[in-house]
Amino acid sequence: MKIGIFGGGAVGLLFAGYLGRLFDVTLIVRRESQVRSLLKDGITIHKESTTITTKVRAVQRMEANHELDLVIVAVKEYDLLSLHEVLVDLGPELPLLFVQNGIRHVEWMKSLPHHNLIAGSVEHGAMKENDVTIHHLGEAVTNIALIRGNWGVVEEIVSRSLDSFPFSIQHDFEKMLLTKLFVNVSINPLTALTRVANGKLVENPHFSQLQRDLFRELLLLFPQMEGVISFNKVVDICRNTYQNKSSMLKDLDAQRRTEIESILGVLLEKANNEHHFVPTMNVLYRLVKGIEREGLGG
């Protein structure tokens, strides 16, 4: 089976590193220097006391005539629009799996002509060291759910990767994505602002209280999630990814654009439209946006 993966960040490398041991994987990245490094050294994954290295194909652009059985889109949400034409040119028959944070991209995904669309929610903790090396800090699963169409070749991937890189099939993509959103909102902005690893949030009572405040505000916006996800689930994920630095913290450290719009910005729009009072979300959003603006040079 031939799999194309867009994105050379932590998630793209993690997927390529594990799936590349079972399937023919091509990683599509932006920079020629990363292509050269991947072709030369492969992908190295450090997990606890073990290290694995996987050889993969790497290119800067995917041609429409390149034969693939599945494409996994692992770029940040704000980079999706730049892939629109490329994905359309690959043809509507090609299944697409999207693994972005947040929910802002859902309507855009639905606008694509592809017959088989799948949403993914990654629970793994991964930290990118360089263009070819990542640290797998929190081993978990990737939840997947159909947006439309059928599973097709994905069933083979789920079956063959069960022991090394498990997937869990969910039946409601909206609840699945909202569950991940609850986790992202409860962790990413706080770690970005406090500059601590995930596990420290639940150890520090002041940070933990802010997490509880965020969780209550989320339930105001999505009351249907009551009973679907509990605050204890957030605590468990913080502990399971204890040493992991959130992607938002790493983005601020590197003075890169964050995913604050797709994680909190979209929720503030919803709160405003529905007249909900979400003060904690609003303060965290403004602080992250302000720090991001300073890092990007105003």
pLDDT in tens, 192-201: 999 999 999 9
Q: Which active-site residues does the annotation give?
A: 180
- Which residues have CB under 8 Å from 241's CB, separation 6+? 125, 137, 138, 198, 199
**Grouped pLDDT means (10 residues each) for the chain, 298 residues:** 95 97 96 97 94 96 79 95 94 96 92 97 89 89 96 95 94 95 96 94 96 97 96 90 85 92 95 97 97 83
Considering only CA atoms, which of 135, 141, 88 is closest in space to residue 115? 88
| Exposure string over 179-191, b if 16+ CB within 10 A, otherwise e | bbbbbbbbbbbbb
Torsion from C-alpha of 278, 279, 282, 284, nearest 10 degrees: -120
Q: Which tokens in the block code for residue 193?
A: 């602002």
Radius of gyration of the chain (CA): 19
pLDDT of 257-274, one tens digit each?
A: 999 999 999 999 999 999
Spatial separation of the C-alpha atoms in residues 152 and 1, rounded to whole Å = 12
Q: What's the pTM value of the predicted model, to 2 decimals? A: 0.92
Spatial separation of the C-alpha atoms in residues 59 and 285, rounded to whole Å = 36
Domains in the chain, please, with CATH? 2-170 (3.40.50.720), 176-293 (1.10.1040.10)
